[in-house]
A and B are shown apart, each in its own frame.
Chain A
């Protein structure tokens, strides 16, 4: 060996990681092609693609230590060759189905041999993408289901179509999905979809969310889906964006940040008790025993609720509340007074001076938690309405810029790199003119969805203007950002948008600039904007980098 085996090993591990990441996609494709060739055995082009896909697995899997997978693929390859000569041989179809199920299973089991040590260098290709979520579709309406599966792929879902419950049950047992999209009725029988879900132990055990789809939207159908653990109901023909919205809601665990509560109470022991109670309920707290420090702590801690003692040595709670409210940006933070005060008149007067609620000491723990969390939650919702764009739910222009400012400062401090992307839908005006504004809005929503689904949690997506979006990608240099945005661009251009009359495709152009070299927000934005302008003038549907 002439090059250092250690470095080589590292590189191979990185490749293995990227192979593992692509595996679900490859299997989903094989599965989809198999469904298709069964419907049309004469489609030799499809069959070739299927055969090549399986053959390539047979040849590559072992190189990445998926030995069993490779052998199974080889068997599948041989069976497929036979099947091609006699496509109506039921036993062969069954064998192939079984083999495909085993393929999934052995891919899910991961590489064999000695467990691969965690590599320090993650491959850059997958760095900016989060893992795909697995979705099963139970639908025997071949082409539509395949189309849906195809479209979902662009939104970071890997979906597999099953046309019968037997096969689905088998695969589900070995690899439960993140969600199931099921027809209410199947060719196997009316209400077969809902029955299947109700009888499936796997679905119950893993609490797999189920989205039902049906051509009929009547009360009976809807009721049946609710009774059969349906978490959502969508009518056919399916709107892909609506499906993705439901999937996103159902498959992302509620990972909300804890509520931040500032406790102002001069009795240290009591303050600590409240803090403990709220912390045990999952909230984040900070205690101030001296109200005069309030103005210093507010901007940094950014509380979503202030718990204020009514009687303190330095000032009264009412006075403190009034000082807080003098600053317009703290106008909406809920303030809750705590006091032994029993007289209703005094309580009301406290509320009249900037307080939102009045809690009487001693207060039961449960009561405190409920009073605080309800108000904090409402505050958060209201705030999100103010900072988010109502159509897309993305950050609005102002908030985006605030975030950008902070991100630039953070990037310079940590000596890292930040990419800023300006992105504009091509020929948007003509979409509105041709298909109407509601249709244009749907295109915008679809792009917003694609961007949020595909970027990392640490990335920020905002709606910059009408059909203009901005992305903030921390720890990402221009070349990685370009590759990433180009991937998004290609995927977006493949999404079918439907208007009343026909389906159409839409593209976008993008410009990218980064910090460094830009150290202030204005020049960063200007540079990205210029790059976007370049992209538009070079013919649209492309990504351009800043000129250095």
Chain B
């Protein structure tokens, strides 16, 4: 993340729920982040190679392809093998967070998230890494 100051952080974001996705788009608007939002895991996988994102932000529970399996598919792309990934989930029990982290996620953002604080939350996680 050396080039954070020069160009926006490119985020590939997957969330199946329209209203939450729109909230995140607004919450992460501005010039710190460049958000690419997808409604399904498949969409994210098909876009990922061209996009070359700096961060993967994934909802966990989605119909069809869920967050962990989306991450699995994304990791198969050589360019994304080490890209930091963050899960978003409404399950916040410590055991579940541990399990998600063990899948190779940097951190887990709990839902519901505060729209006004999401950008800072994301930045804090990335800066700590």
Contacts and interface: CB of A to CB of B under 8 A. Distances in A.
A472 to B, nearest CB: 30
Interface of B: 17, 19-20, 22-23, 26-27, 29-32, 61, 63, 89-90, 111-116, 119
B106 to A, nearest CB: 20
A62 interface: yes
A519 B19 CA distance: 38
B22 A60 contact: no
A70 B112 contact: yes
A184 interface: no
B26 A1 contact: no
B115 A63 contact: yes
B29 to A, nearest CB: 5
A1 B61 CA distance: 29
Interface in A54-93: 55-56, 58-64, 70, 74
Q: How extensive is the interface on chain A, given as a class? A: 20 to 34
9 contacts: A1-B119, A12-B26, A19-B19, A22-B19, A59-B61, A59-B90, A59-B112, A62-B111, A63-B113
Given A2-B31, A70-B112, A15 B61 contact: no
Contacts of A1: 30, 119
A59 B26 contact: no
Contacts of B19: 15, 18-19, 22, 60, 64
A74 B113 CA distance: 15
Contacts of B114: 63
Nearest to B63: A52
B30 A55 contact: no
Contacts of B31: 2-3
A3 B17 contact: no
Contact of B26 (A2, A15, A52): A15
Contact of A55 (B29, B61, B116): B61
A12 B17 CA distance: 16
A397 interface: no
A11 interface: yes
Contacts of B27: 8, 12
Given A2-B32, A55-B90, A63 B61 contact: no
Contacts of B113: 62-63
B111 A3 contact: no
A9 B26 CA distance: 9
A63 B32 contact: no
